[in-house]
Amino acid sequence: MKSLWKESEAKACCGDLVELRAYSSRLMGANPDLVLHGGGNTSVKADWQDVFGESTKALFVKGSGWDLRTIEAAGFPPTRLDYLLRLGELKELDDSAMMRELRLALLDPAGPTPSVEAILHALIPHRFVDHSHADAVVTISNTPDGEAILQELYGSEVLILPYIMPGFILARQVAEATANLNWAEIRGIVLMHHGIFTFDEEARDSYETMIELVSKAEHYLEKKADGAVASEAPNFTSADLLQLSKLRKAAGELFGGPVVVRLDTNPLAAGFAARENASELIQRGPLTPDHTIHAKAFGAVIEKDVISAIRDFDKTYQDYFQLHSGEEHHMLDTMPRYGIWLDKGMVYFAPNLKRLQIVEDISGHTIKAIQQGEALGGWQALPRADLFDVEYWELEQAKLKNNADRAEFEGRVALVSGAASGIGRASAEALLEKGAAVIAVDIQELADDLLEHPALLPVQCDVTSTDQLAAALEQGLQHFGGIDLVVSNAGSFPASATIEELGDQDWEQTLALNLGSHMKLLRACIPFLKNGFDPAVVVVGSKNVPAPGPGAGAYSAAKAGLSQLARVAALELGQHGIRINTIHPNAVYDTAIWTEEVLASRAAHYKLSVEEYKTRNILRTELKSADVAAVITALLGRDFSKTTAAQIPVDGGNERVI
């Protein structure tokens, strides 16, 4: 572990202690081996000046909801230091009362709620305090001889304390352990199974002490656990994809709605899944108890019968809850958040992509730590009773009560073909906005702004190729776990040619893309749609189906065949709850084929201005891709849950169609 401190960047803080605190905090947050998804907290003691120009001694401590990776000065709400110190002298203070008092201690009422560790930060007399859940330190502490090893590594310069719940009781533990301590004699505090604190009068020294102490633990693991982390090629085949979609469906039923699932077959995950005792290790407990908030206290074990694996986890979790709960507890959903698919890899479960990424990151760090811990005598996480206390800690649970406000398509997976431009791109954007995870398929590369969305998986694919489609589906299913929604949109409008002029190649290419590719895509998706949540398909047809024009024989015939294909699919798939509807757009002018030159030429042909040409429909309105996408997402959504085999024009009203 290397220091990331740059004196030039520190000087840019212009001596502002809170800005400097934010800068060094971001350095910690930049390293996931120190800080992972909101873990850890930092503070600085400095003067707060009020509107009268009077100064108050304050503790600026990380606020709830801020992440050390990106935290700014505003993320450190000022609190009255003397008030926090008085709170630290109390013998008892329950969690709810503590949080109320922390709000009362705020000097800026608009600031975020101070960290639950604020009182502890106040009790440490140094100006800068850094706290991380460093993987290496916690890994060593999760072994039978962990305390002795850490004592040997750090000697008398680090105080090592047994695990206790975070919050007020942890602050009291530290206060009692340091009552007769000369703070000048120690450089840090290790909390077993939890993390490490460092502190100093200078920001750089506090941060670099953290780097130094954690590096000692890392070097020890490199020496004593060399080769412990297994690495192996995955043993996953395309035949397992259907089982993965069934696993997702069963997990979602436990959760109470659609979820996203990811199969991780990287060498680290595959190596862990191949260990003889992997099924037992995955249930021993997480790297730190804080992880139970996101990932629960243990994982699922998945073998050939994926449905049974989910049922087994459900029963085990219910038994765990009954054993450790009291009257004040209400059981959370029983869906696992991670699991080991024996001999294949790791599987992650979550209600949305943000949560999925958190679970994946936590699991990656955990399985590495478990294997290192095994090399040091055995992985020994906290007892489940302690893990339960954190998982059901009221202060943390309050942060996660957001499921009631789920976006319409949250947890659902959509596949959009022809997603690089026009209607396909607009559909992908609309689905993302409504919370869906999107597999965006196109033969062209997607634009950078679309690629930046974390819930979008771009897949370059020629949809007329059965093999490429199969590979695209494999990639998408492994990434999201299933398919619920399909927007079958890929197509092109060929150059005008009468039937007399139409060549065999042009005819075959047009049918292959505008009809054949849709059949191949639908055929490939059907097995997974059967395991989907409220599965639905929208086929993008054309005005040319009810109102063909001369010179468009191949295109019109392909789109007419596509409409018939969709109607047959609706008849065949209705018994599985899969809805198939078709839209017929016309004159959508912000698509690739309508360049300024083409628009000007067509408008001139009709002796109209470009604006008049764009609105020459019954409603005198201009249609854009986003307008079509709005109809598509509506058809995929709950408002049309009782509609299938519909043929809907999206054309502003066309006289020939009417």
Joined tokens for residue 561: 């065949």
Q: Which of 23, 317, 338, 555 is catalytic?
A: 555
Structure-block tokens of residue 109: 């009422």
Tokens of 407: 């976006």
**Phi, psi (rounded to 5 degrees) for 388:** -60, -40
Residue 335 identity:
M
What strands, in cross-sheet order, belong to the sheet with 345-350?
260-264, 345-350, 338-341, 300-302
Tokens, residue 494: 């060929």
| Residue 310 CB partners (closer than 8 Å, separation 6+) | 247, 250, 251, 254, 300, 335, 336
Would you give the DSSP letter of residue 507? Answer: H
In single-letter form, the type of residue at position 281 comes to L
Residue 306's H or E segment, with its range, is helix 306-324
Q: Which one of 368, 559, 613, 614 is the catalytic residue? A: 559
Q: Give dist(CA 319, CA 317) in Å, integer.
A: 5
Are residues 26 and 70 in contact, defined by beta-carbon separation less than 8 angstroms? yes
Beta strands in 361-434 (DSSP E): 413-417
Q: For residue 559, indicate whether it is catalytic.
A: yes
CA 650 to CA 543: how far, in whole Å? 8
Q: How far is residue 533's CA from residue 522's CA, in Å, rounded to a whole number?
A: 17
- The most distant pair of C-alpha atoms in the chain lies apart, rounded to whole Å, by 100
CA atoms within 13 A on the CB side of 402: 10
Active site residue 606: no
Calpha distance 404→608 (Å, rounded):
52
The set of catalytic residues is: 555, 559
